Amino acid sequence: MIPVLPVVVAVVTTLAGGWALVLSVRDRPAGRQLLTLLGVLAVVEVALLVQTVAGLVALAGTDRPVHGVTFAGYLFGAVLVLPIGAWWAVTERSRWGPAVLAVACLTVPVLVLRLDQLWAGHA
Amino acid sequence: MPDPALRSGPGRVLVAVYAIFAVAATARSAVQLGTRFGDAPVAYLLSAVAAVVYVVATAALARGGRRLALAAVLIELTGVLVVGTASIVVPQEFPDATVWSFYGAGYGFVPLVLPPLGLLWLRRTARTASSR
């Protein structure tokens, strides 16, 4: 596991989720703000991919009491949420598109913080 | 008859949340059944039922299958109420958490809020469908 990265990802996605909610409430389904938000999330996605690779490598080489299947499940889940959520969001042309994006964003901190817990040895 | 209105507007968010629970419940249940079924068979079988219900509800809402969605949401509502109550009355049968134990407290009570929202959404889209 890469130290600090999960916390950074959790903070950025929480802020991004808040931003998406604001776009939804102000009824801005499309435009430059949404594109900027999607750009930020693309960077987050790269970080999540790096984390998944690093996590799988670390899992293979550790003798910690980590539940491997569960840990790998969370790693893959964390990588899939944003792309699938973004697709489901941009295919909705109303204020509910950004709302979907907010749901996807706010799922990421739950997953990465849970990953951190699992790595620390809490089942 | 498929009704695309179910996956539009607020329904888009509903499908997204249902999908998250479908994946979470399925993964959790697969790990439980695959690695330690003997520890708590009742709880783990109920976990598997919850997983199936969420998968069916997600698919039915996304594809616009109104009757199937209604059935899944009603089973879900019954499940979260019965399992939530059972986990308090007979806690020894629930040594490990399921999605529905303690009315979904481990998931921020979203499992308790989701079925009423689903029913409201089904009713609201039915009204606009009939007035069209």
Q: Per-residue confidence of chain A (123 residues) as pLDDT tens digits?
A: 777 899 999 999 999 999 999 999 999 888 899 999 999 999 999 999 999 999 999 988 888 777 888 899 999 999 999 999 999 999 999 999 999 999 999 999 999 988 888 888 765
Output the DSSP codes for A37-58: HHHHHHHHHHHHHHHHHHHHHH
The Cα–Cα gap between B46 and B110 comes to 17
Say yes or no for a CB contact (<8 Å) between B16 and A104: yes
A31: left (phi over 0), alpha (psi -120 to 50) or beta: left
> Which amino acid does the sequence have at B40?
A
Q: Is the pLDDT of residue B101 over 60?
A: yes
Model confidence over B111-131: pLDDT tens digits? 999 999 999 999 999 876 665
Window A:91-110, CB contacts with B under 8 Å: 92, 94, 96-97, 99-100, 103-104, 107
Q: Is the pLDDT of residue B132 over 60?
A: no
The Cα–Cα gap between A37 and A29 comes to 12
**Of B13, B19, B35, Cβ closest to residue A99:** B13
Model confidence over B49-86: pLDDT tens digits? 999 999 999 999 999 999 999 999 999 999 999 999 99
In angstroms, how far is CA B40 from the centroid of its own chain? 21
The Cα–Cα gap between A117 and B34 comes to 22
Residue pair B99/B26 in contact by the 8 Å Cβ criterion: no
The Cα–Cα gap between A101 and A113 comes to 19
Q: Is the pLDDT of residue B41 over 90?
A: no
User: Complex ipTM, two decimals?
Assistant: 0.91
Q: Token match 């979904």: residue?
A: B104
